[in-house]
Every structure is written in C-alpha cells, then in structure tokens.
Amino acid sequence: MTHPLFSVLSPVLEDGTGIRHVYFAGAQHPVPALAYQVDFPRLELILDGEQMMEWEDEQGKSQATRMLAGDVLFVPANGWNSPQWQKPVRTLSILFGKQQLGFSLLHWDGTGFEGSEKGNIGRRGPRVGAFMLQALNELAWHRSDQQTAQFLVKGLLSHTLDLFSSSVKTASRSQALFTAIRQHIEEYYREPLTRDSVAKAFYISPNYLSHLFQKSGGVGLNEYLNYVRLEQAKNLLKGYDMKVKEVAHACGFVDSNYFCRQFKKSTERSPSEYRRQYRSQLEQALP
C-alpha cells in the first residue's frame, strides 16, 4: 500500500530535470478577489499541462506567467497567487503549517475538476523543513540562483513524500496489529483475558491497546471481547443442552449473572428465552 503522492512525486524527484523553473511570489497587499492566500508558506507545482498563474513579487509588481509541467511557485506566508483554470492541467499544492503539512492534488480537464485528493499529517518537529523554507524566502531576492532553488524545492518535496509514506506504513502496521489481536481474542476468548494480559502478549502498553481498538475498530477492547463471547454463547445455546451457568463458563464469563445481564442487553432476551425461541422457530420450520 502506497500513498497517492508516491506516484506523483517520485517521477519528479527521480528526474534530474523534474523541476523546470522555480518562481517566487511576494507577500504584498491588498489581495485580489478569488486569489489564494494562507498564513503559511506553500509550493504550487504543475504536474502536467499548463496554467496561467498570477502573483506579486517581492517588489510588489504583478506577474502573470504561463507555468508548464515541472514549474513551481513558492508562495511565502501571507502571500497570494491566482491560478486560471482554462487548459487541462494537473497541479499539486503543498502547505507547510507550523504543526501540520497538507497537500491538495487537483486535475482540471478543461471544463471542470475531474477529481481531487487532499490530506494532512503532523510535522516531525518544528525545525524539519524549516531551514529549506527559510532559504527559499531569502532566495526570493536572488531569483537568478535557480540551481539552489531547484535543490531546495526537491528537498521539500522529498520531505513531504517521506512524511506521507511513513504515515501509510504506520497505518498498515497498526491495522496488521489490530487484526492479529482480534484473532488472538477470537481464539482465546475462553481464557480470563484482560487489557493487561492482551497487551503483554503483544508487547504493547495497555493504553496503546485501548487506543488501537478505538482507532481501528471503533469499539473498546472489553466491548469486543464480550461480543465474541456472546456470539459463542449463542451457538452453544442453540446446539447444546448445557445449563446457562455452563455456557457462561465455557465462553469465558466467570460470573454467570454478569453473563445473563450482558446477554439480555445484547439480545433483549435471557439465555433461556433465546434458546426456547430458537428451538420453537426451528420446529415451525420443519415439514
């Protein structure tokens, strides 16, 4: 499983000429109507096609440039840009917030937006990428140094791809761990499982175990454990003439009264009523 940005940025980073030209916007006011402006720096990258882009430079002069594939516009905090959506184009915006990094991938087919993807992720400390952004700010006054600008832009793109790719790997590992823990519970539900014992079996903290279940399954650990045990209890009630207390203990419930309360809460029937109703329906279904 890979992040959507991988197929977008990898060709740019692997190609020595992936960044064609770096343009620099200023942070002038007032901001024109319909222009894009945020209070943190951005990169606007043309992936395919072409786009007319307007901005103001550091001297306050208006610029309108036809940007082509591989062209990048660096927009400082509080700067603005105004893209014209006319010819087919695919663009990527990367926004460097203080705490988060976000992206917006847009595809204009000439008449409308064919599709878009957005996302964000927490940054790894305030200084990661900050030096490159500061260097780009300073280069805005020395725009002839394109080689350094291209190097810095590629560094920021690589940093972006690393962050989002890491998030996918982390999510995949978390999902795999969640699946393994579920299988463990479904196999050992008869045992006196607790949050601490399950966490210990997988070498994780009890708090992380609870967080994992809430995040990946949307349920609490005890809620899921009770669900598994009650489903097994239904099977025993339907297939065997075991006493209710025996069913409870066979499914991992130490207290049969607690089992009965949980069973009725789940099915709105006591275990005995559930068994009678099932067998009655079964008899009616027989020829």
Residue 139: pLDDT band with limits 50, 70, 90? confident
Question: Which of 3-7, 48-52, 103-107 comes out lowest in average pLDDT?
Answer: 3-7
Give the pLDDT score at 161. 86
Q: Could you tell me the pTM of the whole model?
A: 0.61
148 with 195, same domain: the answer is no
Whether 157 and 206 map to the same domain: the answer is: no
Q: How far is 32 from 96, CA to CA, in rounded Å?
A: 22
User: pLDDT (tens digit, 9 = 90+) per residue, 47-92?
Assistant: 999 999 999 887 778 889 999 999 999 999 888 999 999 999 999 9
Q: What percent of the chain has pLDDT over 90?
A: 51
Residue 4, pLDDT above cutoff 90: no
Co-location of 158 and 84 in the same domain: yes
What was the pLDDT predicted at 132?
87
Question: In the chain, how many domains are there?
Answer: 2
First vs last Cα of the chain: how many Å apart? Answer: 52
Same domain, 137 and 27: yes
Is residue 149 domain-shared with residue 218, that is, in the same domain?
Answer: no
SS3 of 129-197: CHHHHHHHHHHCCCCCCHHHHHHHHHHHHHHHHHHHHHHHHHHHHHHHHHHHHHHHHHHHCCCCCCHHH
Which CATH number belongs to the domain containing residue 260 in this structure? 1.10.10.60
Question: 280 or 125: whose pLDDT is higher?
Answer: 280
Last residue of a domain, one of 168, 201, 218: 168
What six digits make up the tokens of 214?
A: 């809430």
CA 76 – CA 41 distance, rounded (Å) = 4
In this structure, the answer to whether residues 28 and 120 fall within a common structural domain is yes
204 in the same domain as 142: no
- 111 lies in a domain? yes
What's the pLDDT band for 247 if we cut at 50, 70, 90? Answer: very high
CA distances (Å), origin 82, targets 20, 21, 37, 70, 230: 20, 18, 9, 18, 60
* 145 and 37 in a common domain: yes
Q: Are 164 and 53 in a shared domain?
A: yes
Identify whether residues 51 and 139 lie together within a single domain. yes
Helix 130-139 with 146-188: angle, nearest 10 deg:
160
* Domain region containing 121: 4-168
Position 1 pLDDT exceeds 60: no
Q: What per-residue confidence (pLDDT) applies to 159?
A: 87
Average pLDDT for the chain: 87
Kindly state whether residues 199 and 267 are assigned to the same domain: yes
Q: Which pLDDT belongs to residue 169?
A: 63
Which pLDDT score is estimated for 94? Answer: 94
- In degrees, rounded to 5, the angle at the alpha carbon of residue 92 between the alpha carbons of residues 99 and 132 is 50
- Regarding whether 153 and 119 lie in a shared domain, the answer is yes
